[in-house]
Structure 1
Amino acid sequence: MSNAIKVYRHALSGHCHRIELMLSLLGLSASFIDVDLAAGEHKVPPFLNLNAFAQVPVLDDQGVILADSNAILVYLERRYGAGRWLPDDPLIQAHVQRWLSVAAGPLANSAMKARLVTVFNAPFDPKPLIADAHELFKIVDAHLVNQPFLAGEQATLAEVSLYSYIAHAPEGNVSLEPYPHIRDWLQRIESLDGFVPMGVTKVGLVR
């Protein structure tokens, strides 16, 4: 497929990496357009015409404009994934939606923000963020004791949504050493056909 799909992104954003990963897992090519967040490029037209919330990523699929990384994941899977990453079974769909909510809530408000402190100098107190991340990771690690993936026996959008910020949590000084099942889960995702990593920064802990 030609590069008819465009993604407006920041290369070190886990939200944007979700989309790059999903596209690669689906075998879709795309053009990536870097948005200079430090210069405020996301807060002025023409970017605001794409996303009034002034956030990356934004997907342009041949004129179909979508923002919000989880919404984009659902769109890409429904349009191109044939149910592979979001099966039609209503219970599995519910499980996937639960983990998408975790990605947008507890994960974003803990490990993601802790990483913002070290990578982007965000003005947050890292200590409670790191503590909250460990509480979340304890739950996720226990959930993965008896199943290989978050929603069951196969990888779904849940993996795509949570992978980036969990894999890069050490950059925010959240160690993954206490969580063997999470570390095994990360390796299973990294072994998927089409997996692409997110760029690593030289901050925080070493995974």
Structure 2
Amino acid sequence: MRFFKSVLSTALLTTFLSLSGMLCAQAATFTFTSSDPSLTPFVNDNDVQLLSFIVSEPFAELSISTDGYAALGGFDPTLALFTDTGDAATDVFLGQSDSLDFATSLYDDVLNVIVPSGNYVLALTQYDNLANGPDNRAKGFLYDGADNFNFTNPLFPGPGGAFNDFDGNVRNGQFRVNVVTVAVPEAPSAVLVLPGLFALVGVVVRRRSVVKGN
């Protein structure tokens, strides 16, 4: 079953809302698309695109989503969120996205989490090229290496080769990722409670299961 709810994200959100009562209406939006001149469509199944952004609010709820699968014919995406320290060895894993609805083949992904101000990086990959570990980004991804350029091809051999989704449909290398940050008002009691919850983020890893036909 590939669809999971982010228990940790929900706990963070529920706790903070109960303490602060409401969300600030102001929001910032970042959109990353393969049609942007500074970005390029995926060429291989195991490509990794790093997307950096800054949260300036003391605390913000991140609502991250993709729509490249539905709108652009793109590959089945997955996202890993990390802190962005400028060094992969110290970039801490914060969460993995989930499909909108795996049961009905809505393979675009979503991720919701509350974070403090700082620099962050999203690692966009094709499912199921997931981050190897929670410790840091330097550990890489499941299908790193030239031998895995077209890792979906052995599962679904045929025309196209690369960018086969979970059902074997041939997709393309296009993508689009949207990040909305909404400021969360601070509350004195929240400042005491949230640090302990944030400490859990770096040690909790949620991996979605997949049946492989190797």
TM-score under structure 2 normalisation?
Answer: 0.26
Which one has the bigger strand percentage? 2
Q: Which gives a bigger RCO, structure 1 or 2 (Cα 8 Å, sep 6+)?
A: 2
TM-score relative to the length of structure 1: 0.27
Q: Which structure is higher in helix share?
A: 1
